[in-house]
């Protein structure tokens, strides 16, 4: 049982670290998921708190029974509070995030690289924003694994010899 508990604990911590690393990398880079990040947010909302709760399997590692009671009590309270906090944070940020990219239309496609496009995107905040959505142009390169690399572009400076208009 201790070996199974240890495997579950190490797997849960690895999962939490991997989710946090992917989230940090996506937030601090120009990479995005093709279909938006809705499925990844859903994954974080439910996966990370469950993984945090699964880390409770590590409690029975100590051999001293008096030490087990203190460590078990403190670690259980801490881990449960952390799980509730993470769940509430992800759930509330997902629930109240009205700002999103709603519209994406391809304008140009690269003649040399078919996975490279210039698109028009609309970003707005829905009912909480009285302004119309902002429309900007981006160069998007599609990669495997459902990732795209997004770079803002000025369409007045592109060379039309390198791009085909998409109708």
Give the pTM.
0.60
The helix/strand/coil state of 81 is: helix
Task: Give the separation between CA 142 and CA 120, rounded to whole angstroms.
Answer: 15
Read off the pLDDT of residues 87-106 as tens digits, 9 standing for 90 and up: 777 677 666 666 777 667 88
**Sign (positive or negative) of CA dihedral 103, 105, 107, 111:** positive
| Residues in a beta bridge with 141 | 116, 149
Is the distance from CB of 51 to CB of 15 less than 8 angstroms? yes
Give the C-alpha distances (Å, rounded to integers) separating 143 from 48, 53, 140, 150: 26, 34, 10, 11
Supply the mean pLDDT for the chain.
77
Quote the strand ranges of 40-159, DSSP E: 100-110, 116-124, 134-142, 147-152
Axis-axis angle for helices 2-27, 38-54 (nearest 10): 150
Read off the pLDDT of residues 50-89 as tens digits, 9 standing for 90 and up: 887 777 766 555 555 555 567 767 777 787 787 778 777 7
For residue 162, pLDDT over 80 is answered with yes
- Helix and strand totals (H; E) in the chain: 3, 6
């Amino acid at each position: 049982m201790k070996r199974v508990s240890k495997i579950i604990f190490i797997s849960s911590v690895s999962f939490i670290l991997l989710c946090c690393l992917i989230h940090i990398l996506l937030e601090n880079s120009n990479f995005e998921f093709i279909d938006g990040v809705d499925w990844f947010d859903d994954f974080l909302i439910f996966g990370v708190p469950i993984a945090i709760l699964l880390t409770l399997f590590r409690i029975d590692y100590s051999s001293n029974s008096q030490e087990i009671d203190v460590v078990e009590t403190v670690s259980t309270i801490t881990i449960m509070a952390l799980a509730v906090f993470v769940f509430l944070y992800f759930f509330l940020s997902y629930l109240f995030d009205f700002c999103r990219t709603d519209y994406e239309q391809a304008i140009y496609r690269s003649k040399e690289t078919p996975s490279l496009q210039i698109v028009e995107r609309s970003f707005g905040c829905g009912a909480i924003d009285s302004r119309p959505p902002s429309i900007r142009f981006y160069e998007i390169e599609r990669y495997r694994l459902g990732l795209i690399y997004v770079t803002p572009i000025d369409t007045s400076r592109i060379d039309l010899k390198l791009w085909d208009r998409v109708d």
